[in-house]
Amino acid sequence: MKPCARTGVLALAAILAPAAAVAAQPAETGWWLHAGVGQVTFHDSSTLSIAGSVVPGAGAKASDNTAAVFELGYRFTPAWSASATFGVPPTSTVTGTGAAAPLGKVGEVQYGPLVLGAQYHFSGTAIPPYIRPYLGAGAVYYIVTRSKDGALQQLDVKNGWGSALQAGAEFPLSDRYGLFLDVKKIFLKTKATGVLPAAGGAPAKAETTLNPVLVHAGMYFNF
- pLDDT tens by residue, 150-184: 999 999 999 999 999 999 999 999 889 999 999 99
Query: Of 138, 27, 132, nearest to 84 (Cα)?
Result: 138
- State the CB neighbour count (10 A cutoff) for residue 28: 11
Q: How far apart are CA 172 and CA 8, in angstroms?
A: 29
Cβ atoms within 10 A of the Cβ of 203, count?
A: 14
Q: What is the pLDDT of residue 175?
A: 86
For residues 128-139, average pLDDT: 89
28 — pLDDT class (breaks 50, 70, 90): confident
Residues in the chain: 223
Is pLDDT above 90 for 138?
A: yes
- Label residue 129 by pLDDT band (50, 70, 90): low
Q: How confident is the model at residue 125 (pLDDT cuts 50, 70, 90)?
A: low
CATH of the domain at 106: 2.40.160.20
pLDDT band at 1 (very low <50, low <70, confident <90, very high): low
β-bridge partners, 181? 169, 217
- Position 9 pLDDT exceeds 90: no
Percentage of the chain modeled with pLDDT above 70: 85
17 confidence band (pLDDT: 50, 70, 90): very low
Compute the half-sphere exposure of residue 64: CA atoms within 13 Å on the CB side of its CA.
Answer: 11
Mention every residue, 6+ apart, whose C-beta is less than 8 A from residue 17. 127, 128
Q: Count up the domains in the chain and report the number.
A: 1
Span 99-116, mean pLDDT? 94
What backbone phi and psi angles, to 5 degrees, belong to 147?
-120, 135
Cα–Cα distance measured from residue 93 to residue 149, given in angstroms and rounded to the nearest whole number: 10
Closest CA to 46 of 112, 96, 102, 107: 96
Domain that holds residue 87: 3-222
* More reliable by pLDDT, 4 or 90: 90
Query: How much is the pLDDT for 12?
Result: 37
